[in-house]
Amino acid sequence: MAKNKFHDGPGPSQRQLRVGEQIRRTLSDVLMRGDIHDPELNRLSVTVGEVRTSPDLKIATAFVLPLGGEGQDEIIGLLSRNKGELRRILGKKLALKFAPDLRFRLDETFDQLDETRRLFEDERVKRDVEK
């Protein structure tokens, strides 16, 4: 079984999943409303697909993608540059003992879905699936 680089063991706890989803929703709302004091970041529409937290909830990794896929190169830098302000907002809005350190990664699940669709359209795969 492949080892996940974000956590060890059987998988995230219910608490990690719940807190990750709260962070995802809050980040999405903040970015959608443009609550950050950075005009460069506010001009982009950002999708927050998932947030994974460390077992101690001190680190939250947000998987993001700019709407339409344009600006992927700059979005991680812009979010990282504003992570202090984002962290403060999360601390105010969420009832957590500590606001987690935020990390940002490009969400590649859409690319993986496209590749999976492409594979299923391949004649050899269709032939094997039909057997």
All residues at 6 or more sequence positions from 46 whose CB lies less than 8 Å from its CB, including other chains: 31, 64, 65, 66, 67, 75, 79
- Each residue of 57-88: pLDDT tens digit? 999 999 999 987 777 889 999 999 999 999 99
Q: Greatest CA separation found in the chain?
A: 57
Listed by start position, the domains of the chain span 14-130
* CATH H-level superfamily of 14-130: K homology (KH) domain (3.30.300.20)
What mean pLDDT do residues 107-130 have? 70
Let me know: does 100 contact 23? Beta carbons within 8 Å.
yes
User: What radius of gyration, in Å, describes the C-alpha atoms of the chain?
Assistant: 17
Residues 6+ apart with CB under 8 A from 8: none
Number of Cα atoms under 13 Å in the Cβ half of residue 56: 4
pTM of this prediction? Answer: 0.75
Instruction: Kindly report, residue by residue over 89-104, the tens digit of the pLDDT.
Output: 999 999 888 899 999 9
